[in-house]
Amino acid sequence: MDYKYDFTSIMDRHGKDAYAYDGVGGNKWHTEPKPPKDGFDFIPMWVADMNFPTCPAVTDAIIERAKHPAYGYFDIPDNWYESIIRWRQGAPSDADCTTPHAGLKREHIGYENGVHGFVTSAVRVLTRPGENILLHSPNYVGFRSDTWGQGRNCVFSPLVLDAQGIWRMDLSDMARKIEENDIHVMIFCSPQNPSGRVWERGELEAMMKVLEKYRVDVICDEIWADLTFEGHPHVPLQDVSPYAREHVLAAYAPGKTFNVAGLVSAYHIIYDDELRRKVTQEGEQTNYNSMNVLSMHAMCGGYSETGREWLHELNSVLEGNGSYAMDFMQEHFAGILAARPQGTYMMWLDLSEYLETSGRTLDEVIRAGWDVGVGWQSGVQFEGPAHIRLNLASPLSMIQEAFERMRKHVFL
């Protein structure tokens, strides 16, 4: 495929506000990769941002607004809401080409200072300290702090890798844990980080039937909704049933889509009036939940026809990177399990068999990668005791170099 946009140039991000590079050897999170040995440059495969330049429409929108030399207080303009509605309704949500978020209106949308702020507000609204919240494992590490940090407890239901190499929910396990732990709230990730799974409509419908039976509300992180691959369209959880529309609180953001996490911008979609009022009020009371003017223009720039064209090419590149990684591992790495990514740009490696047969520990493998500049991330903090999380959002040449180093220096 010939690409109009640049996904092959290697950017020098050192000293350019990029923790993926500048955080190496640090201790902010106590999980940072160690610097590589002499002779190896560093390949970032840990922090969940991309090593691609953002969509030109995003940059152009920021520059155009920055030309006006005043950046004072402002109200959210109509076009911010309109761009969200057009973007979220602009692509079919399933093979039947139904319109996602049918009936979405301005009043259903609210600004959030990031998905974490939204999840924290929703947790505080829907639960009391000491109560239990259901999550899948593996799970995004931030959900634990969003839960435990508010004095709530995490209960994990493991995903299961089936015979076709696809991560599946265990609905019977979910139901049992909901009942045994008196759970009334779930935090759900769709598409799923770190597994790269894009949930099918039938799966979501079946899950919501279980949750409806036990009257469980859902805090749904759909930040990866735009990053899906051929044959795996994103289905908004709020679309799958009348119960879901009223009991799912969803968060979206342009950060993953356009590589603009540093601009800080997100929004919620909540259809139930009372839930939306409570979450909005909680956010206003507990943090300065106010929009940045340049972030606003950046999102509107991305949520355009140019942005959609750029995103189509990006997803093709990411899918190609995922296929390369899967094919390489199947040929060269015995005893390592992974699922072919259906979306996102993360890959989840299960080293259980490899560690058992090799006699090595997970820490030894991770450090061997760091020594040769493969900046991957331990899966322990994601509830994966023998696992590694990989970020594949880099030019293919960087991905190829990383896997060659794994073959030559790590998985001997």
Q: In the prediction, which pLDDT does 224 show?
A: 98
Where does the pLDDT of residue 412 fall: very low under 50, low under 70, confident under 90, or very high at 90 and above? Answer: confident
| AA letter at 144 | R
Q: In the prediction, which pLDDT does 1 show?
A: 74
Q: Token pair 């794994």 is at which residue?
A: 406
**CATH (domain of 398):** 3.90.1150.10
Region 310-319: what's the mean pLDDT? 98
Question: Does residue 95 share a domain with residue 46?
Answer: no
Question: Does residue 75 share a domain with residue 44?
Answer: no
1 within domain boundaries = no
Number of neighbouring beta carbons within 10 Å of residue 27: 8
User: At residue 115, does pLDDT exceed 70?
Assistant: yes
Last residue of a domain, one of 304, 332, 360: 304
User: At residue 138, does pLDDT exceed 70?
Assistant: yes
Question: Does residue 329 share a domain with residue 366?
Answer: yes
How many structural domains does the chain have?
A: 2
As a whole number, the mean pLDDT across the chain is 96
Question: Does residue 230 share a domain with residue 300?
Answer: yes
Question: Does residue 330 share a domain with residue 295?
Answer: no
Torsion of CA 173, 174, 175, 176, to 10 degrees: 50
3-class SS of residue 125: helix
386 within domain boundaries = yes
User: At residue 92, does pLDDT exceed 80?
Assistant: no
Where does the pLDDT of residue 98 fall: very low under 50, low under 70, confident under 90, or very high at 90 and above? Answer: low
User: At residue 93, does pLDDT exceed 80?
Assistant: no
Q: In the prediction, which pLDDT does 58 show?
A: 98
Last residue of a domain, one of 304, 336, 353: 304
- Which residues, including other chains, have CB under 8 Å from residue 21's CB and lie 6 or more apart? 13, 14, 42, 44
Which residues are bridge partners to 269 per DSSP? 109, 250
Domain range for 384: 19-54+307-410
Question: Does residue 83 share a domain with residue 49?
Answer: no
Q: In the prediction, which pLDDT does 119 show?
A: 97
Q: In the prediction, which pLDDT does 2 show?
A: 87
Question: Does residue 109 share a domain with residue 36?
Answer: no
Question: Does residue 356 share a domain with residue 259?
Answer: no
Q: In the prediction, which pLDDT does 30 show?
A: 87
Q: In the prediction, which pLDDT does 171 show?
A: 98
Percent of all residues in the chain with a pLDDT value above 90, rounded to a whole number: 93
| 3-state SS track over 329-349 | HHHHCCCCECCCCCECCEEEE
Region 399-409: what's the mean pLDDT? 98
286 within domain boundaries = yes
Where does the pLDDT of residue 94 fall: very low under 50, low under 70, confident under 90, or very high at 90 and above? Answer: low
12 within domain boundaries = no
**CATH (domain of 130):** 3.40.640.10
Question: Does residue 287 share a domain with residue 219?
Answer: yes
207 within domain boundaries = yes
Region 156-166: what's the mean pLDDT? 95
Task: Report pTM.
Answer: 0.96
Question: Does residue 169 share a domain with residue 37?
Answer: no
Region 131-142: what's the mean pLDDT? 96
User: Any idea what DSSP says for residue 206?
Assistant: H
CB 270 within 8 A of CB 283: no
Strand order in the sheet with 217-221: 109-112, 266-269, 248-252, 217-221, 185-189, 132-137, 153-158
Question: Does residue 92 share a domain with residue 230?
Answer: yes
Region 21-34: what's the mean pLDDT? 94
Region 289-307: what's the mean pLDDT? 96
Residue range 327-358, pLDDT digits in tens: 999 999 999 999 999 999 999 999 999 999 99
3-state helix, strand, coil in the chain (%, to 5): 40, 15, 45
106 within domain boundaries = yes
13 within domain boundaries = no
288 within domain boundaries = yes
Last residue of a domain, one of 246, 271, 304: 304
Q: In the prediction, which pLDDT does 96 show?
A: 52
Where does the pLDDT of residue 217 fall: very low under 50, low under 70, confident under 90, or very high at 90 and above? Answer: very high
User: At residue 97, does pLDDT exceed 90?
Assistant: no
Q: How does DSSP assign 53-108, residue by residue?
A: PPPHHHHHHHHHHHTS------PPPHHHHHHHHHHHHSS-SSTT-PPTTTT--GGG
Question: Does residue 272 share a domain with residue 178?
Answer: yes
Region 11-15: what's the mean pLDDT? 96
